[in-house]
Every structure is written in C-alpha cells, then in structure tokens.
With several copies, the nearest count.
Chain A
C-alpha cells in the first residue's frame, strides 16, 4: 500500500463519520453510555475494595500476657513476636489502660465497674497486626506456642465471617465489572454491526468496482477507532471530574468520615486508560467483524 493510500483511508474513515451523521451519532452515544456505566462501576468497585481492605485492617490478635511474666519477660516476648515474618506491628496495652477503655466503652453504665479498679482482673496485652489480614489465624496459632503467653484471641467467628463478607464483595465486584465489560463490548459491537449492515450495498458496490478487501476495510478500521475514542471522551471527562468532586465532598462532610475513599490520583488515570482502551478495541473489532461478512462478492 502506498503512503498516499493510507492517508486516503484515514481521511475517508473520518469523512464517513460525517456522512453517516445519524448512525454515527447513535453509535457514539451507545459507546458513551456503556463506557460511562463501566467506568462508574469500576470506581464503585475500587472503593468497595478499599473499604473491605480497611475493614480487614481492623482485625488484630490480642495476646494476653501471663500474669507471672516480669518486664524482662515481656520485652523478650515482644521481640519474639516481632521476629515472626507475618507480623506488621506490635502494640503494648497495660492492664490499667485496658480497664480504662473497658469502663469507657460502657458509657454511663461504666461507673458501676469502677469497683474493679481496686483489684484489676485484666491482663497486660500485646495487640498484634498481621501484614496480610488473611494470615491472622495462622499468626495467632504461632503466637500461642510462645512462652509467657496466657491466651490468644482474635475473635475467630467474627473474623471468619468478616473475611467471607469481604471476599464475597471482592469476587462479586470482579464478576460484576467483567460482566459489564462484556455487556458493553457486545452492545457496542452490536450497534456498530447494525450501522454497517445498513451499508452492505455500498461495500458490495466497492468490490464490484475493483476494490480489494483491504482497501475497503481500512476506512472502516479508522472509523471504528474514531467511534470508540470519541465515545470514550465524555465518560472519561465526566467520571474524572465527578469523582474528584465526590471525594472532596465526602472528605468535607464529618458525618461521612467513616467512608474511606480511594484517592483519585492514580485511580482516574487507570480508569481513563481502561475506558479508552475498551472503546478503541471494541470500535475497531466491531467494525472489522461486521465488514467481513459483506466482503464476499
């Protein structure tokens, strides 16, 4: 193919968008809407993931130190725990502090527990966090075997339930986004296909006048690419802007402080790249697949 012919194909592809005015508009708006939905869900799911992570980060192992252990024994135990690979942080909570927070947690009713201060029934505690929250159980079992450990607690039931919830959330999110992506791909390719079926006769005429398959395909390639890219611009801009604003609002509203949102910075770039990629890919693929059918003349 000569260089000028490539130029001709690019120009022709662009012109076709204009020539098929209504059809082009319909295709681009299908791309726009679908990518918008995919993008919005992508942001939602990334945030749900973040939220799940933050829930999991709250999981900790409470190591009750034997009452017989003196200070030296305690710091020995602390280094032993810290030497375990899976451990991220170890915090010491003296029994006095433990009782204090217990009483506080009872609110008004806590006053009735004041009597306990005289003879504190609690242990000193190490609060240990695993690097990967999902390792918590293994970690707890390992710590159990160390000396000067009276007991180990990590709320087995609740933690397992929490993990099954967060895992369901993650898998559901992945299934959802993949499902939506395929839906989008199908619908966009479908729309493009219909617009090209409508041009079946034109393609056949071109072949009868001596055009090769490649010659006919190229402008459609360019057209599909442009459709996809043009259709991706609005959702990318709108979602990026909207997300940045949303994060601002959520962070500025005290009542919503419990919502931890994924920071926009790398996220909207990734989202933008993904949408642009999907748009371009489906645009090209959809138009190539559809043209193929009519080239046999």
Chain B
C-alpha cells in the first residue's frame, strides 16, 4: 500500500529530517512509528499525504507514485487518506460538526448522508453533545478527538495518525485505540506515530523506530523499546 524508496528530505532551512528511508507497508497493516522528539516521525508521515515533498527518492501510495500525480489530482489522493494531525488543524471558525462534515462535503456527499455519518463518528469519539461548539471552546483532548473523527469519517483506505493520544487520558486513549483496531480489522491501513509506550507494548503491532531520520528498527511485533 505504501512504499518509500531511498527517500530523503531536507527542509529549506537545511535541517535533514529524513535521510534515506526504504520501507514497505502492506494493505491492512497496522504500524507504529516511534522515536525520540525531533527524530523525523512527523516528516515521515507528512511525506505520505504530500504535505511535504521528498528531496530525493520515490513514494508510492497504492499504485500511484506521488511525484507523478498531477497537481490537481492531489486532493483525490488526500481523500483516500485520513490524517490526524499532531497539531489537530481544525478550522477555527467552523463548529465541531462542520469541521467533521467538511471531509464529506469535499466529496460531494448528500446532506442526509453527511448528517448521518458525522453524528455516527461524533458518537464514537463521545462528542455528540458538543457538535455545535467551536474548536476554541473545547478542551485539548476534545479537540484531538474531533481531529480523529474527521480523519475516519469518510472511511479512508489509509489512516495516518500523528500522536493521536498525546492529549488524552489513558482510558480515552484505549477507547480510541480500540476504534483504530476495529477500523484496521475492516481493512484500513494504519500508520500511527506515538510516544505511548504502554499502548505500543500492550497492543503489539509492527513497530518502525526512526532515529535521526533513519529507520533504526523494524519489528513485526516489537515493543516500544527505548527502556531507560
């Protein structure tokens, strides 16, 4: 599903965030991306939905090579990928409902379908009663759950989540993890960057550890590692 070949990424300010990554993620896989702060996890993830373009190397999502997709077809790619951003990226002037609905309006769903589906995912993340709130009226964890709801609302074939439980208490984090596992069971590929040792060690999945922009470890059923 996702293939990176000899990918390098240097930011305009000279920071070399990704230094030669070769990786293949199969359809329906569940992958944790771990590593110290500033290791390049978010950059690795941003390359997949083309928020950032690689300096060198090729990236394939499904059968499509990202660098070969026409600029105006990029939105179509992004619709197949649900993203939970590390900084949430909610639209500040839209309500919770409107933020989640946006991902469906974009694919021109009917109003009735949008309503049904949005309320469904808001129920899953337990925010049905805050549908009409604006993002700035929510707690940090609530905002993070809206971001999760928006990422899964259109049943994407790939779900990319950057630190999706950083602002959640352990109980809520586990609820979210169960949701992700269910989605994964239905065939969605999941790539999740995380610092949550407990989750990685308990819910064993493939672990890719990134350090200094390189793959330091790639275990099929590895733990978090980095024991102190």
| Given A8-B105, A205-B89; A212-B111 close (CB under 8 Å) | no
Q: Quick one: CB contact mask for B97-125 with A, threshold 8 Å, 1 for yes?
A: 00000110111101100000000000000
Chain B nearest CB, measured from A143 CB (Å) = 71
A1: nearest chain-B partner, CB-CB:
B108
| Given A5-B108, A213-B72; A205-B103 close (CB under 8 Å) | no
Chain B residues with CB below 8 A from A213, complex form: 72
Q: How far is the CA of A16 from the CA of B150 in the complex (A)?
A: 21
Chain B residues with CB below 8 A from A206, complex form: 91, 102
B12 interface residue per 8 A CB criterion: no
Verify B78–A208 contact, CB threshold 8 A: yes
Verify B93–A19 contact, CB threshold 8 A: yes
Interface residue ranges of A1-39 to B (CB < 8 Å)? 1-2, 4-5, 8, 16, 19-20
Q: How far is the CA of A215 from the CA of B83 in the complex (A)?
A: 19
| Given A4-B110, A202-B91, A202-B92; A209-B51 close (CB under 8 Å) | no
Interface residue ranges of B7-38 to A (CB < 8 Å)? none
Question: What secondary structure prevails in chain A residues at the interface with B?
Answer: helix
Chain B nearest CB, measured from A7 CB (Å) = 9
A211 interface residue per 8 A CB criterion: yes
B75 interface residue per 8 A CB criterion: yes
Partner of B103 from A1, A4, A202, A210 at Cβ < 8 Å: A210
Interface residue ranges of B135-170 to A (CB < 8 Å)? 150
B224 interface residue per 8 A CB criterion: no
Q: How far is the CA of A52 from the CA of B89 in the complex (A)?
A: 62
Q: Quick one: CB contact mask for B63-88 with A, threshold 8 Å, 1 for yes?
A: 00000000010011011000101000
30 A–B contacts from the bound complex (CB under 8 Å): A1-B108, A4-B110, A4-B111, A5-B105, A8-B105, A19-B93, A20-B93, A202-B91, A202-B92, A205-B90, A205-B91, A206-B102, A208-B49, A208-B51, A208-B78, A208-B83, A208-B85, A208-B89, A209-B78, A209-B89, A209-B102, A210-B75, A210-B103, A210-B106, A211-B102, A211-B106, A212-B72, A213-B72, A215-B106, A297-B51
Binding site for B on A (CB under 8 A): 1-2, 4-5, 8, 16, 19-20, 202, 205-213, 215, 297
